Amino acid sequence: MSNLIASATIKGAHSLVDRAETAWQNTLARYGTGKLIGFPNTAYFLPVIYGVTAQKVQTLGDAAQVIQRCRDILPGWMNPDDTLSSLEPVLNAGLAALFAEEIIEAIRYLEMPDFYTQSEDPRADNVWLGAADDIILRKRGVEFVDGSAPGFAAILGAAPSNTVAAKIATDLQQKNLYTFMSASSGGRRMSEQLLESGVQVGWPTRLVSFGPDVSSTVFAIGFAVRVALSFGNIVPGRSKELFEYCKNRVYAFVMALGDVNEEWVATAAGALNFGFPVIADTPIPEIPLAVVADVPHDKIVNRAIDVRGLKIVVNEVPVPVAYGPAYEGERVRGEDIYLECGGGRTPMVEWVTSKPIDDVVDGLVTVNGPDVNEVSAGAKLPLAILVEVAGRQMQDDYEPILERQIHHLINYAQGVMHIGQRDIAWLRISKGAVEKGFRLEHIGKLLHAKLHQDFGRIFDKLQIKIYTSAEDVLAITAKAKEAYAARDSRVAGMTDESVDTFYSCLLCQSFAPSHVCVISPERTGLCGSYNWMDCKASFEINPLGPNQPVPKGQTLEPRLGQWKGVNEFVFKASRGAVDHYNFYSIISDPMTACGCMECISAILPLCNGVMTVNREFTEMTPCGMKFTTLAGTIGGGVTTPGFVGHSKYNITQRKFLAAEDGIKRLVWMPRSLKEEVSDLFNERANEIGIPDLLSRIADETIGTTEEEILPFLTEKNHPALSLDPLL
């Protein structure tokens, strides 16, 4: 390798370690060794340090050991003409640089708590988002799991112009990649260039403005490390396994835009440890398959993808705006709204229904009523989207599967915002999209193209009828509601005993190889995305996909929920890591979890009950852990007695924790979760003869420790207190 790179890396690493030590010493003098430091609402301390070394940095005193470790692994100074026999000193210098950057950023959080927004979106007065908290990690981690986000680009610096910056960002978005931005070149930063160009920046659009300095790049590497620890069950301190996991499962690369200084080089060398190559637009020395230089801006995205070995498939969709998952989180607000439908402003409904094959003309799109170009900016219209499908393989059970796709497929269009489904949908079309020629007919065209691409094997023809007159929309809504009710009754009446086959979901194995999710009628997927009917239809649509039939076989433990056939499948699918688990128990060998569960339940011995917390709740819980810590404890495909991951809907299913008396054991939930599940929960509570059970369950307004909530439970005569002891 080039000795010039080695020399620059080592100098840059020394500079960063010096900066970290100086900042640490100054802060230590003010606060003392016991002062807490870290990244807010993250489970893995300072994740790069923790993942590589297993050291938990929680206080300023802990940082002393890290700085000493940096000094220990830092190579001595070298001249550009010195001989370097291996890459090891460069990689060690890179690790020291990353460790130092985490110390720098942790101290910044302490000294300047408002420096980062700590949110998904920039604010008008602050564009720097800082480290992703665990809510974001798990929410976005699902996209890496299911392949809708094949990887990420960590961009340092800025493009030579705002136009080039926007073009690079758009190329990355259209290839579904996340873009993590940090550092400056020539006094400019790419995230600022995008905002000046009118491009929406933030986690929802996959253009993430981590921070203004090179040290902020460590948030991108930390994101990859947390994926490995959370989803991959990598043991902290096993650095070789961590590096291999990131190289083989987290597809990322570094893109350096502008003049590369020594601290940049050291940071990039740190990324090389994780298998992340560096692609630069300047003529720096190269390392085959690791550092690629002097790449033109119009080729840099494709070159980076080639070097990293990413497999990206982009299908053309006949719409006049950019299209892809990266635009799913885009927001259309205020003065930018050209047309608004639904959302409580007007009636709106979406319905997929089967028709005889002779009644469907494939590709036909009709708009009945005013279109976008026939109304003024800011207009509101009622809207019905009626999708009629036909084919020899089409079944009624497939209709909700196709209908559920409407939300994200419309949202993939740049400048179009869609929320909700069925008859509570909400659509906004931006002025920018209309200026580019977007019309209501394009909703039909994109649905036709994408549904054929993704689900064409189950139907032969598809036509879309769009209505914007109130009379038509209300008439279609009435028919759609009858169809919704019929579908819901089919699923609601099913029990685990009524079927011989469950279904697997192995999507999360791309990150958590030993996790096996098995879904039954009364045990939905823990991520909340799949129920038994969804999996059945998914298998019939794609027999080689992640949802495979699992014959129950002999019942081994009816109270706990364990079957011989399920055990055999779990053992095989986990590659021998897990030989059995129980569907209905939190204490006796509960199900594995991958890290993307909606909720986590934990036992509360003092209260003889169970608490559950959703990932949106960021505060302390009565089990003594926040959601982030809980997720780090039970994620990664392990079975953890006393803890179990589950979906929100599962709380209201009859088999929820049935081995421990079900919802009678629930003694604490966040208030927001209680409100979210209240309707279905109250139905279940009525079934078991305790109609006011929800009001007897404590929340954070009552307390966040067992000692605080026990008097409330006693006062309310909570049924858990009179049940047999949990332990």
Q: Give the full edge-to-edge strand order of the sheet including 599-604.
A: 643-646, 599-604, 609-614, 666-668
Alpha-carbon distance of 141 to 133, in angstroms, equals 12
For residue 396, how many other CB atoms are within 10 A of its CB? 13
Q: Which of 48-62, 189-203, 306-320 has the lowest mean pLDDT?
A: 306-320
Same domain, 183 and 90: yes
Alpha-carbon distance of 694 to 685, in angstroms, equals 8
Res 498: pLDDT: 93
Res 510: pLDDT: 65
Q: CATH number of the domain that 206 lies in?
A: 3.40.50.2030
Alpha-carbon distance of 185 to 567, in angstroms, equals 56
Res 146: pLDDT: 65
Distance (Å) of CA 128 to CA 182, 203, 500, 507: 9, 12, 52, 32
Distance (Å) of CA 398 to CA 26, 425, 532, 547: 63, 20, 13, 15
Whether 297 and 167 have beta carbons less than 8 Å apart is answered as yes
Average per-residue pLDDT for the chain: 92
Q: Which of 196-210, 314-328, 464-478 has the lowest mean pLDDT?
A: 314-328
Average pLDDT over residues 192-219: 96
Alpha-carbon 656 to chain mean position:
25
Query: Residue 246: how many CA atoms within 13 Å on its side-chain side?
Result: 28
| 555: enclosing H helix or E strand | strand 555-557
Q: Give the model confidence (pLDDT) of 546-582 as tens digits.
A: 889 999 999 999 999 999 999 999 999 998 999 999 9
Res 528: pLDDT: 81
Task: Say if residue 80's pLDDT is above 70.
Answer: no
Q: CATH number of the domain that 665 lies in?
A: 3.40.1470.10
Alpha-carbon distance of 507 to 546, in angstroms, equals 6
Whether 684 and 697 have beta carbons less than 8 Å apart is answered as no
Res 145: pLDDT: 66
Same domain, 79 and 164: yes
Task: Say if residue 651's pLDDT is above 80.
Answer: yes
Same domain, 358 and 217: no
Tokens 């706990």, located at residue: 560
Q: Give the model confidence (pLDDT) of 243-293 as tens digits.
A: 999 999 899 999 999 999 999 999 999 999 999 999 999 999 888 889 999
Res 544: pLDDT: 81
Q: Is 112 exposed, middle or buried (0-12, 13-18, 19+ CB in 10 A)?
A: exposed
Res 701: pLDDT: 97
Alpha helices (runs of H) in 439-469, residue ranges in sequence order: 440-455
More confident residue, 232 or 374: 374
Same domain, 549 and 657: yes
Whether 413 and 392 have beta carbons less than 8 Å apart is answered as no
Alpha-carbon distance of 274 to 221, in angstroms, equals 8
For residue 264, how many other CB atoms are within 10 A of its CB? 26
Q: Is 679 exposed, middle or buried (0-12, 13-18, 19+ CB in 10 A)?
A: exposed
Average pLDDT over residues 116-120: 93
Backbone region of residue 130 per phi and psi (left: phi > 0; alpha: psi in -120 to 50; beta: other values):
left
Is residue 505 in some structural domain? Answer: yes
Q: What is the DSSP letter of 659?
A: G
Torsion, Cα of 362, 367, 371, 372 (10° steps): -30
Task: Say if residue 514's pLDDT is above 70.
Answer: yes
Alpha-carbon distance of 304 to 297, in angstroms, equals 11
Buried b (16+ CB within 10 A) or exposed e, 127-162: bbbbbbbbbbbbbbbbbbbeeebbbbbbbbbbbeeb
Sign of CA dihedral 587, 592, 596, 597: negative
Q: Which of 365-379, 469-483, 521-535, 561-575 has the lowest mean pLDDT?
A: 521-535
For 586-650, give the secondary structure using H, E and C: CCCCECCECCCCCEEEEEEHHHCEEEEEECCCCCCCCCCCCHHHHHHHHCCCECCCCEEEECCHH
Domain end point (choices 433, 448, 482): 482
Task: Say if residue 314's pLDDT is above 80.
Answer: no
Same domain, 127 and 205: yes
Tokens 């709740």, located at residue: 617
Average pLDDT over residues 670-696: 96
Res 180: pLDDT: 98
Is residue 321 in some structural domain? Answer: no
Task: Say if residue 1's pLDDT is above 60.
Answer: no
Residue 621 contacts by C-beta under 8 Å, 6 or more apart in sequence?
Answer: 602, 611, 613, 627, 630, 668, 704
Same domain, 439 and 517: no
Domain end point (choices 308, 341, 372): 308
Same domain, 263 and 392: no
More confident residue, 716 or 392: 716
| 181: enclosing H helix or E strand | strand 178-182
Is residue 444 in some structural domain? Answer: yes
Res 125: pLDDT: 93
Res 219: pLDDT: 98
Res 400: pLDDT: 85
Alpha-carbon distance of 2 to 95, in angstroms, equals 19
Domain end point (choices 482, 517, 547): 482
Q: Which of 80-94, 247-261, 490-504, 580-594 has the lowest mean pLDDT?
A: 80-94
Alpha-carbon distance of 572 to 566, in angstroms, equals 10
Same domain, 244 and 342: no
Alpha-carbon distance of 459 to 390, in angstroms, equals 6
Tokens 């799991």, located at residue: 145
Res 512: pLDDT: 75
Same domain, 145 and 277: yes
Q: Which of 447-461, 526-540, 644-658 has the lowest mean pLDDT?
A: 526-540
Whether 532 and 555 have beta carbons less than 8 Å apart is answered as no
For residue 554, how many other CB atoms are within 10 A of its CB? 9
655 φ, ψ to 5°? -90, 5
Q: What angle do CA 94, 96, 99 make, to 5 degrees?
A: 110
Torsion, Cα of 112, 115, 119, 123 (10° steps): 140
Residues in the chain: 727
Q: Which of 135-139, 186-190, 422-426, 476-480 has the lowest mean pLDDT?
A: 135-139
Task: Say if residue 2's pLDDT is above 70.
Answer: no
Is residue 323 in some structural domain? Answer: no
Is residue 316 in some structural domain? Answer: no
Q: CATH number of the domain that 472 lies in?
A: 3.30.1650.10
Same domain, 668 and 706: yes
Closest by Cα among 526, 307, 327 to 428: 327
Is residue 322 in some structural domain? Answer: no
Alpha-carbon distance of 586 to 641, in angstroms, equals 6
**pLDDT tier at 592 (50, 70, 90 boundaries)?**
very high
Average pLDDT over residues 75-89: 76
* Structural domain count, the chain: 3
Task: Say if residue 645's pLDDT is above 90.
Answer: yes
Instruction: Give the domain extent around 626.
Output: 496-722
Task: Say if residue 295's pLDDT is above 90.
Answer: yes
Task: Say if residue 15's pLDDT is above 80.
Answer: yes
Same domain, 277 and 242: yes
Same domain, 556 and 428: no
Whether 720 and 605 have beta carbons less than 8 Å apart is answered as no
Distance (Å) of CA 422 to CA 101, 390, 444: 47, 20, 16
Is residue 314 in some structural domain? Answer: no
Res 252: pLDDT: 95
Average pLDDT over residues 427-447: 97
Q: Give the full edge-to-edge strand order of the sheet including 291-292.
A: 207-209, 178-182, 152-157, 252-257, 278-280, 291-292
**pLDDT tier at 82 (50, 70, 90 boundaries)?**
low
Helix (H, G, I), strand (E, B) or coil at 430: strand
Q: Give the model confidence (pLDDT) of 342-357 as tens digits.
A: 988 999 999 999 999 9
Whether 601 and 653 have beta carbons less than 8 Å apart is answered as no
